[in-house]
Amino acid sequence: MPVIAVAHPLVRHKIGLLREADISTKKFRELTAEITRLLAYEASADFPLERTTLSCWSGPVEVEQVAGRKVTIVPILRAGLGMMDGVLDLMPNAKISVVGLARDHETLQPVHYFERFVGHLSERTAIIVDPMLATAGSLIATIDLLKARGCQDIRALVLVAAPEGIAALEARHPDVRCWTAAIDRHLDANGYIIPGLGDAGDKIFGTK
Ligand code: PRP
Ligand code: URA
């Protein structure tokens, strides 16, 4: 099942608070970061470990560390930036790749305007972050870009997912797992998630 609804009580509590219509920009940002930390914890549960030996106060000791090259976090501009720090809190050495996509209000198709990827993508785990999985057009386009550059371990974190977007993601990229704090009812005629959060980018950046 590529889309995993994280059922942890703290996630359920915090996503509820995030739905408040008159929430302040500060509170929205704080809750977004807090939920993202919990999603990132879940999404990293199967990271491979390797053994190494270091000098402990009592002599050499064998310890475990996460194997392989550093993770790359991939925020989708703009709103994904609001989730970046939540992942960095758990993976402070992660590299950052950035994709700029803006959804056309008429067609709902993502319009690509920026990209900057770190190197060695074929050897890294990529964690895409974007609060809203609506039609999934933005997430699918980002996964397409990563796969075209050889990335093989692609994961995504979102705050709210719509059933329409989940179906589209599962059809196009069944190998990519996506952790979400909530699965909502449906999309409205304008492609907004119901009940959803409204425009997540505007809430994170304080625009509108
Ligand atoms: C929002 C959101 C996602 C996208 C989701 O971004 O942050 O990127 O829409 O919709 P989709 O699943 O139908 O593609 P938007 O394009 O509004 O840009 P912004 O982050 O700059 O506000
Ligand atoms: N983008 C948002 O910010 N919110 C939605 O509900 C759908 C797309």
Any known ligand binding at 193?
A: yes
Per-residue pLDDT averaged across 74-79, rounded? Answer: 98
- Under 8 Å CB-to-CB from 107, ≥6 apart: which residues? none
Domain 3-205 grouped into CATH 3.40.50.2020: yes
Q: Pocket residues for ligand 1 (CB within 6 Å)?
A: 76-79, 101-103, 108, 110, 130-138, 165, 191, 200-201
Query: For tokens 């993976």, what's the residue?
Result: 91
Complex ipTM, two decimals? 0.98
Give mean pLDDT, residues 149-157: 98
- Percent of the chain exceeding pLDDT 90 equals 99
Domains of the chain, by residue range, sit at: 3-205
First to last CA, the chain: 37
pTM given for the model: 0.98
Ligand 1: which of 77, 132, 172 to mutate, most ligand atoms within 8 Å of CB?
132
Euclidean distance between CA atoms 22 and 62, whole angstroms: 52
Neighbours of 186 (CB within 10 A): 12
Q: Tell me the two tokens of residue 10.
A: 């703290």
DSSP SS3 for 138: helix
Q: What is the largest CA-CA distance in the chain?
A: 65
Residue 188, pLDDT > 80, answer: yes
In this prediction, residues 49-53 reach a mean pLDDT of 98
* Ligand 2 shell residues, CB under 6 Å: 132, 134, 191-193, 196, 199-201
Nearest bound ligand to CA 129? 1
- Residue 25, marked binder: no
Where residue 208 falls among pLDDT bands split at 50, 70, 90?
confident
Q: What value does the mean pLDDT take over residues 85-96? A: 98
Q: How far is the CA of 132 from the centre of ligand 2 (A)?
A: 6
| pLDDT for residue 1 | 66
Judge whether 96 is annotated as a binding position: no
Alpha carbon nearest to ligand 1 atom 21, residue: 78
103 annotated binding-site participant: yes
